[in-house]
A and B are shown apart, each in its own frame.
Chain A
Amino acid sequence: MKIHLSQPDRTLELQGPKQVKAILKNLDIIPATVLVIRDGGLLTEDEMVRDVDSIEIRSVISGGI
């Protein structure tokens, strides 16, 4: 699967299928700090991502006020 990450912008690949929860754990990301998006829709932690999928892991943390 292709994974696009923000802040900083980068793309990486992981072997699927994997649960969202497992992907985040693999990448050492706290689930509460991101949204996981596939085809414009949000994925919850229990959903499966197939090897052919592209997902975006979008940071929701902003530093400026």
Chain B
Amino acid sequence: MKCRKCLDKAVLSIPRHNTALCGPCLTEYAQIQVERAIGREKMCTKENKILVAVSGGKDSLALWDILLKLGYYVDGLYVNLGIGQYSVRSRQKVEAFAELRNAMLFTKDAANDEGIGIRELADLVRRPTCAACGCIKRYQFNRVAVDQNYDVLATGHNLDDEAARLMGNVLRWNQEFLEKQGPVLPASMEGFAKKIKPLYRLTEREIAAYCVVNGIDYIVEDCPMATGSRLLVYKEALDVIEQASPGSKQSFYWGFLVQQGAKAQLDHQSMSDRDIAILHPCEECGQPTSAAMCSYCKLMAKAQIHQKVS
């Protein structure tokens, strides 16, 4: 198979674009898609300070690599969730990546801060591990970005992640989550960092191939807590559809974004207006919440009560 751009030997076929690319052209393609995402969605500029949330996996490390290569001011944030040897290995990957590129890395030990790992915490409060993990990560990412004065928080969510999540939200007609499923969330009020997803135009496979071609050493094994997650079920279903009809995932998610953009223009209130109307500072930590206490502080309070009882 030959590269459609330069006729050199291809390393990856991309059925949704009816093309195949060699290593250098794949690298260029990934960078163009990220630049296009940033430009079209007005995510950030080269004058902004970006904090990228990194897990040691392919998506976040590829994103950090691409943003650095494109000349953005970007530092990394790793949150250690205390998932045994998986966290040890993922942290090593992140630290090695940062050291090799002489890039700035913040490390937040969520497990140590709260004196308990994510698995034990989820068990204590009787919540699914992924729900507790998501709550802690969202809190820590936002908190560090705001405290350290970053303009933007970037995450490595890709086209497969967003299409699968959209499928889940559509199956449940979850209007609240649907509204916030775009690749940009504004810093609608004090205490919120602007959040962006610059990889939303690239698939997991394209990103993994980018890592292999560019020698990015990422943690290949999936998080042991993700086994049986509903998101994986949606991804499997979408992969079957994509196999039969290449481009379906892209049409599904990008089409949703077009509809969402048209709807936003007709809305009298913007997402920021709605946030300002319903959110106020958490009585414990000061981060914006619609309740008296934010979900992170509620989680930690429950864990403390359980620990004291036991």
Contacts and interface: CB of A to CB of B under 8 A. Distances in A.
Interaction A to B: yes
Interface of A: 6-7, 9, 30-35, 37, 40-47, 58-65
Interface of B: 1, 10-13, 15, 20, 23, 57-59, 130, 133-134, 157, 160-161, 165, 203-205, 207-209, 212-213, 220-223, 225-227, 229, 231-232, 235, 239-240, 242-243
A1 to B, nearest CB: 20
A61 B204 contact: yes
Contacts of A45: 1, 13
Nearest to B213: A42
Contacts of A46: 1
B58 A60 contact: yes
A64 B222 contact: yes
Given A30-B239, A33-B239, A44-B20, A64 B221 contact: no
| 10 closest A-B pairs by CB | A63-B226, A42-B11, A64-B226, A60-B208, A64-B223, A63-B232, A44-B1, A63-B229, A60-B204, A60-B205
B208 A35 contact: yes
Nearest to B229: A63
Given A42-B11, A42-B23, A62-B223, 7 more contacts: A42-B12, A42-B209, A44-B12, A46-B1, A60-B205, A61-B235, A64-B231
